[in-house]
Structure 1
């Protein structure tokens, strides 16, 4: 017996699963009603049901029980008409619900598109601001530091007050430069555009290792992450970044495991010939956890969910008090490619 998956796929394509239409179901039920009616008539003719019923009811003629069959016939017709009206109303309600569901799906798709555009605009502004901070303020701060160092060298022996002020100016320029560097890293991840997503994530995790020496971090990345859209790349980075930020707030001494993989997605009916990859990001810690039934004051998880769902993905959270915290995001690897502008040569 062959276990070739191509044969099974061909079998599925040759014999697709078919659902019975409402019209065929109605015709089948009506046929059963007719068959049962004919069978009842045949049994009545063979068993002389009417004659026996007459003999049974002849003794109570004063109650007019012999008119009961006609009354029951009228009742049956009335019940049939009632059922037909309810059926018509049910079909109308189903059609209205189907139309409303289609409208809801269109609105949801439009909402996701708008949310994706908003995130892209936000990241574009962040990238522009980071570039301006680096190119403009960074250069001027370097010039100020160099001039202050020159003043320090010239005034070391002759003007002690100017020498002291120049040292303070150098320290202030260095402090501002470090602050601007931190702002640039928050606005646009270091190495994301130059070295790719895995390197940027490794740099991010290394930074948190320095900030939280009491915590333990593990990062595992599997698969090829080239050719992704900029929106998807920055979303994956922001997920890990926000997750690590939450760890620093609520589980600073825990063991943190970050796992990201790109793998083929489960094939759906009708997509056997189409290769669809998805990216799965999972972060878990063994910290104090949280009660998800209680409302949370922060917007971190909400923002993470909005980012993932804007790209057509899924976002799930699992936690309980003293049971750690885990989130899992699943996003199609092709997300955001259709919305990116074509490069201009």
Structure 2
């Protein structure tokens, strides 16, 4: 369970326990009062004091006739002691409730700061992707065009110049591909232009090419427009990291990806559920893992107020499931400008090649 929900459930349990404690206190007090009155009535009917005097008068030298007063003082002292303990328990409950409310506020603040950190990170990545595309792209394009011109002019006269120009074009093409890969890692392709479902579908298609022995099934259900950028990126990274794990441990398995948005229900805004399951060799979740991918996914999901679950056994496949509220990642109002994302660099026709 998410920490914030645990705190809320703890607060509700504390309130419920306090009300039960109060009702039990009054019920027990009523029982004591009724039992005292019943004892007084029985003692008056059966003359218990006279009987006790006849039984104890032979032990007058032990002053047993003074015992009732002593017992009354003892009973009053025990009642005072119980009342003090009751007051202290009430103060302790109030203190715990205050601490739980403070913890809830701190967790909410921590979640807000984590969301802002993700927003800042993605804004920086957008800016860096645009700089790579706009600044380096145009110079590489110019180098490629110049090299193509040298190649055309020297093809019949200078074989050495022709060979060098081809080497320059190949180097420019290589740099194009490398920068395109950097941009794809910095910012998912098509996420801003086409939306989350198309970006996820493009990611799955890429893994279909890389893992020909695995089969992939993608199911998208619901409307994914209007989501915060941090939420879109988190959902995409979840699928991306899950498929990366498939490439490491289940290269010949069947993989099923579900991306579902549940509709809003009354005051609830709905939630988004991402599930990636495979029928590969599985893993023992109780054993320590060397990688940080799953830890990073859990931190991303929980920073947006979601839940992250894993299910696996050796030889029985692997499944991860994340549930996030649709309103997660809504940024705080600010005047910070945001850069428009840019498309990945495509080399010119003269040197375009398959990645």
Asked if Structure 1 and Structure 2 have the same fold, meaning a TM-score greater than 0.5 normalized by the shorter chain, the answer is yes
Paired residues of 2:116 and 2:331 also in contact (CA < 8 A): no
Paired residues of 1:229 and 1:340 also in contact (CA < 8 A): no
Deviation of 1:124 after TM superposition, in Å, equals: 0.7
Match in the other structure for 1:270: none
> Which one of 286, 292, 295 corresponds to residue 293 of structure 1?
286
Match in the other structure for 1:200: 199
> How far apart are the structure 2 equivalents of 1:243 and 1:151?
47
Structure 1 gaps, min length 5: 1-16, 268-272
> How far apart are the structure 2 equivalents of 1:260 and 1:236?
9
Deviation of 1:277 after TM superposition, in Å, equals: 0.9
Match in the other structure for 2:326: 333
Q: 1:156 to 1:113 in 2, by over 3 A?
A: same
SS in 1 for 2:151: helix
Match in the other structure for 2:230: 231
Task: Say yes or no: does 1:309 pair with 2:264.
Answer: no
- Per-residue CA deviation, residues 169-208 of structure 1 (Å, 9 max, x unaligned), is 1111111111111111111111111111101100000001
Paired residues of 1:243 and 1:283 also in contact (CA < 8 A): yes
> How far apart are the structure 1 equivalents of 2:328 and 2:123?
17
Q: How many residues align?
A: 321
> How far apart are the structure 2 equivalents of 1:68 and 1:318?
68
> How far apart are the structure 1 equivalents of 2:209 and 2:222?
27
Q: CA RMSD in A?
A: 2.4
> How far apart are the structure 2 equivalents of 1:25 and 1:133?
70
Using the size of structure 1 for normalisation, the TM-score is 0.85
Paired residues of 2:275 and 2:321 also in contact (CA < 8 A): yes
SS in 2 for 1:193: coil
Match in the other structure for 1:321: 314
> How far apart are the structure 1 equivalents of 2:180 and 2:32?
80
Using the size of structure 2 for normalisation, the TM-score is 0.83
SS in 1 for 2:262: strand
- Per-residue CA deviation, residues 225-282 of structure 1 (Å, 9 max, x unaligned), is 11111111111111111111122222222221111111136x6xxxxx4242111111
Report 1:174-323 matches (<5 A). 174-264=173-263, 273-323=266-316
> How far apart are the structure 2 equivalents of 1:56 and 1:30?
32
Match in the other structure for 2:160: 161
> How far apart are the structure 2 equivalents of 1:342 and 1:44?
83
Deviation of 1:334 after TM superposition, in Å, equals: 1.5
SS in 2 for 1:339: coil
SS in 1 for 2:178: helix
> How far apart are the structure 2 equivalents of 1:156 and 1:286?
56
> How far apart are the structure 2 equivalents of 1:322 and 1:63?
81
Match in the other structure for 1:93: 92
Match in the other structure for 2:351: none
**Greater alpha carbon shift after TM alignment, 21-30 vs 77-86:** 21-30
Deviation of 1:29 after TM superposition, in Å, equals: 3.8
Deviation of 1:64 after TM superposition, in Å, equals: 4.2
SS in 1 for 2:305: coil
- Per-residue CA deviation, residues 323-345 of structure 1 (Å, 9 max, x unaligned), is 3222111111112235365899x
Deviation of 1:164 after TM superposition, in Å, equals: 0.9
Q: 1:228 to 1:54 in 2, by over 3 A?
A: same
- Per-residue CA deviation, residues 204-225 of structure 1 (Å, 9 max, x unaligned), is 0000111111222111110111
Match in the other structure for 1:53: 52
Paired residues of 2:119 and 2:331 also in contact (CA < 8 A): no
> How far apart are the structure 2 equivalents of 1:343 and 1:129?
16
